[in-house]
Amino acid sequence: MSVAHPKGGAARFSNNFDFLRFVAVTAIIVTHAHSLTMGYPNMRLYDPFLLMGQAALAAFFVISGYLIPVSWESTASLPRFAWKRFLRIVPPLIPAVFITLFVIGPLMTSLPPGEYYGALFSLEGILKVPFFENGSVLGLFQGNPVQFVNGSLWIIPVEIVMYGVVAVLGLTGLLRRRSAIIGLSAINVLLWMIWFDDPRMAKVRFTLYFLIGAYLSLHRQSITYRPLVAGILLMVLGLSVLTPYPLVAGVICIPYLVLYAAQIRIPLLNSFGRGGDFTYGMYIYHYPIQQALIQASGNTLTLPALCGLSLLLVFPLAFLSWHTIEKWALAAKNLNSMDLRRIFRLPQTVTGPETARK
pLDDT at 4 exceeding the cut of 80: no
Nearest to 29 by CA among 321, 288, 349, 296: 288
Triad 195, 197, 202: Cα angle to 5°: 45
Please indicate, yes or no, if residue 233 is contained in any of the structural domains: yes
Q: What is the pLDDT of residue 15?
A: 85
Q: What is the pLDDT of residue 193?
A: 85
pLDDT at 347 exceeding the cut of 70: no
pLDDT at 345 exceeding the cut of 70: no
As a three-state string, the secondary structure of 297-321 is HCCCCCHHHHHHHHHHHHHHHHHHH
> For the ranges 5-9, 52-56, 85-89, which has the lowest average pLDDT?
5-9
For residue 148, report the phi and psi dihedrals to the nearest 5 degrees: -70, 150
Q: What is the pLDDT of residue 155?
A: 92
Residue 139 Rama label (left phi>0; alpha psi -120 to 50; beta)? left
Separation between Cα atoms, residue 29 and residue 283, nearest integer Å: 8
Cross-strand partners of 134: 148
In the chain, the amino acid numbered 33 is A
Helices (H), 39-144: 48-75, 78-99, 105-108, 113-120, 123-127
Supply the DSSP string of 273-296, one letter for each residue.
GGG---HHHHHHHHHHHHHHHHHH
Please indicate, yes or no, if residue 348 is contained in any of the structural domains: no
Domain region containing 51: 9-343
Please indicate, yes or no, if residue 247 is contained in any of the structural domains: yes
Give per-residue pLDDT as tens, 216-245.
999 888 888 999 999 999 999 999 999 989
Give per-residue pLDDT as tens, 310-337.
999 999 999 999 999 999 998 888 776 5
For the chain, what is the mean pLDDT? 88
Nearest to 169 by CA among 106, 215, 123, 110: 215
In the chain, the amino acid numbered 26 is T
**Number of domains within the chain:** 1
Give per-residue pLDDT as tens, 204-215.
889 999 999 999
Please indicate, yes or no, if residue 2 is contained in any of the structural domains: no
Please indicate, yes or no, if residue 355 is contained in any of the structural domains: no
Please indicate, yes or no, if residue 222 is contained in any of the structural domains: yes
Average pLDDT for 1-5: 45
Please indicate, yes or no, if residue 3 is contained in any of the structural domains: no
Separation between Cα atoms, residue 110 and residue 3, nearest integer Å: 51
Please indicate, yes or no, if residue 259 is contained in any of the structural domains: yes
pLDDT at 203 exceeding the cut of 80: yes
Separation between Cα atoms, residue 2 and residue 44, nearest integer Å: 38
Average pLDDT for 51-62: 96
> For the ranges 65-79, 112-126, 191-205, which has the lowest average pLDDT?
191-205
